[in-house]
Amino acid sequence: MLQSFSRNDIRVIVVTDGERILGLGDQGIGGMGIPIGKLSLYTACGGIHPASTLPIMLDVGTNNQQHLDDPMYMGWRHPRISDDQYAEFMDMFISTVKQRWPNVLLQFEDFAQKNATRLLQRYRDQLCCFNDDIQGTAAVTAGTLIAAAHAAGTRVRDQRVVFLGSGSAGCGIAEKIVALMMDDGLTEAEARSRVFMVDRFGLLTDDMTNLLDFQKNLLTAREAIRDWQVESNNISLLDVVKNAHPTVMIGVSGQPGLFSEEIVKEMHRHCPRPVIMPLSNPTSRAEAQPQDLIAWTQGAALVATGSPFAPVFWQGEQYDIAQCNNAYVFPGLGLGILACHARRVTEEMLMAASRSLAAQSPLVTTEKGGLLPPVDHIETVSRHIAFAVARAAIEQGVAPAMEDEILLARIEETWWQADYAPYRRAAL
């Protein structure tokens, strides 16, 4: 099928298998709208020519019984294929993409937790690819945290971070924050000791079993918390807040309302400027509402959300709520990769994107506004990120060397601007 596709100049692919669509779960081929939407953002925010993009939906069945029973369902009405069949199919798909478009950028999108990390680890050194749910989310969250630390007058290394939700997205963000802390002077052990992962069973600790591989480097040692005052062996989010005194709280649980008034006020007791990020989508699944967070902390909280929220007005002041959306990063990331002809996506490139985003925060540049730039500045944001990403790619040796002036020119040459074509009136 890919071999028969007529265009040879595809530069960006977004692919999904429809198994974990937003907070909706397994949508089968109904997930096709996600690759289309993501590529629209590459164009609108990152200047990528739409004719050079390709959305792909891999229909490997669905376990959504409602779809299986629906005679109008347009996908393959069959349960999802086995793990072995899936692995073989993905190998075939990636091999064909590499053969058909060897220089393409491929973005994995909305794959199930059990597959997302495994696919990234398997293919990241075979072609230029990244997982937006793991790496894109981590990059924009890290950029927001850098900006928040600056606004609070602290350093990244001084933060104590608690996560509610320890899936692939949460752990990806946590690993990025560990890397940030290490860049700021901490050892790896010191950095990991300042990160606490909480899921539905409580704080992840080193005496737990049935953990996923990507969680095992983010466990809290029982020995390190033996003096904590807790209510049970399963340590709750409130227990963590009471004992660890976090400065940052990040929600990626998909469950609304879990950042309760009691938890937020307890956090604020020990932290004058708490950074609180209820990142779950859509709006109905946010761990807290921004207006509540501002009120519960007497206007002190620095808030970023995963879904869009209007500004909050509290006691005569306006508080702009940053939307910690991947669209701040991946369009600029793609633009930079295409402009410099990067062969791989490295962690250093993603870190460069985070730092560039943080540097453009209104709270950093003017000490007013939200943690992230206004959405109507997204084209400028993407250009800055593209330059930072491309420069990092060159320094990492995954892109050819070039001077900054040439790189800037290539970014502008790569940028596609929608416009009306000139026309000449035909004779009557």
41: domain CATH number? 3.40.50.10380
Together in a domain, 116 and 259: no
pLDDT value for 5: 72
286-312 pLDDT tens trace: 999 999 999 999 999 999 999 999 999
Together in a domain, 105 and 62: yes
217 located within any domain = yes
210 is in an annotated binding site: no
**pLDDT reading at 216 higher than 70:** yes
pLDDT value for 281: 84
> Rounded distance, CA 121 to CA 66, Å?
33
Together in a domain, 239 and 302: yes
227 is in an annotated binding site: no
Bridge partners, residue 13, by sequence: 54, 106
pTM equals: 0.91
63 is in an annotated binding site: no
| Mean pLDDT in residue range 395-410 | 98
The count of structural domains within the chain is 2
Together in a domain, 315 and 166: yes
Instruction: List alpha helices for 21-82, DSSP H.
Output: 33-46, 65-68
233 is in an annotated binding site: no
**pLDDT reading at 428 higher than 70:** no
What is the CATH classification number for the domain harbouring 217?
Answer: 3.40.50.720
**pLDDT reading at 422 higher than 90:** no
Together in a domain, 114 and 147: no
Together in a domain, 269 and 142: yes
Together in a domain, 175 and 273: yes
Together in a domain, 49 and 148: no
Together in a domain, 99 and 177: no
238 located within any domain = yes
pLDDT value for 409: 98
More confidently predicted of 390 and 367: 390
Together in a domain, 55 and 104: yes
More confidently predicted of 8 and 95: 95
| Mean pLDDT in residue range 159-177 | 95
135-154 pLDDT tens trace: 999 999 999 999 999 999 99
pLDDT value for 368: 86
180 located within any domain = yes
| Mean pLDDT in residue range 74-89 | 96
Share of residues in the chain with pLDDT > 90 (%): 88
The residue assigned the tokens 């609304």 is 256
238-271 pLDDT tens trace: 999 999 999 999 999 989 999 999 999 999 999 9
CA dihedral of residues 280, 285, 286, 292 (deg, nearest 10): 180
114 located within any domain = yes
Together in a domain, 90 and 20: yes
Together in a domain, 176 and 313: yes
pLDDT value for 421: 78
336 located within any domain = no
The pLDDT-based confidence of 420 (bands split at 50, 70, 90) is: confident
Q: Which range is least confidently modeled, 137-141, 176-180, 228-232?
A: 228-232
Q: Which of 303, 325, 347 is the last residue of a domain?
A: 325
246 located within any domain = yes
Q: Which of 286, 306, 325 is the last residue of a domain?
A: 325
**pLDDT reading at 23 higher than 80:** no
> Rounded distance, CA 156 to CA 251, Å?
18
| Mean pLDDT in residue range 183-187 | 95
Q: What is the CA radius of gyration of the chain?
A: 22
383 located within any domain = no
- Which of 9-41 are b and which e, b meaning 16 or more Cβ less than 10 Å from the residue's Cβ? ebbbbbbbbbbbbeeeebbbbbbbbbbeebbeb
365 located within any domain = no
Domain ranges, residue 320:
136-325
33-73 pLDDT tens trace: 999 999 999 999 999 999 999 999 999 999 999 999 999 99
Q: Which of 307, 325, 343 is the last residue of a domain?
A: 325
20 is in an annotated binding site: yes
**pLDDT reading at 168 higher than 80:** yes
325 is in an annotated binding site: yes
Report whether 132 contacts 38 (CB < 8 A): yes
